[in-house]
Amino acid sequence: MAATQFWHTMLRISDPEKTLRFFELLGLKQVDRHDNEEARFTLYFLAVPGNEEAAQIELTHNWDEGDYGKGRNFGHLCFYVDNIYDTCRYLSDAGVIINRPPRDGVMAFVKTPDDISIELVQAEKKALPPQEPWLSMPNVGSW
């Protein structure tokens, strides 16, 4: 039930142009971008050139957010897992609350004892068929 690969750390940003320039100065390059018109956000994925498959930084720009305040910029750690359902069952059986169940067969969120969000993603982002009890489980708390 162990994580198979560390994927990314997410940071919330208020100014994409300035932030992307900062990380470019550090030598990182943008390897992916996703714009979501409906939810009004953009995701930028950055990596060290030549090592794009290793750990990445996800920059999340929520279009309508002006100031996150102290401590809200850090988002979550993300790990690929071999089987999202088996991993969530294992964690749940061990007493971990599944804050965002893997209803889509791809993604779930849990929290550390110190309230740090951890995203779990099905390896290679290949969705498993939806299944119970995950399909019907509500979100719990925040993530």
Q: Does 17 qualify as catalytic in the annotation?
A: no
Tokens 């999340």, residue located = 60
Name 17's Cβ contacts closer than 8 Å, sequence gap at least 6.
none
Catalytic residue among 52, 119, 124, 132: 119
Give me 24's structure tokens.
Answer: 């470019």
User: Residues with catalytic annotation?
Assistant: 119
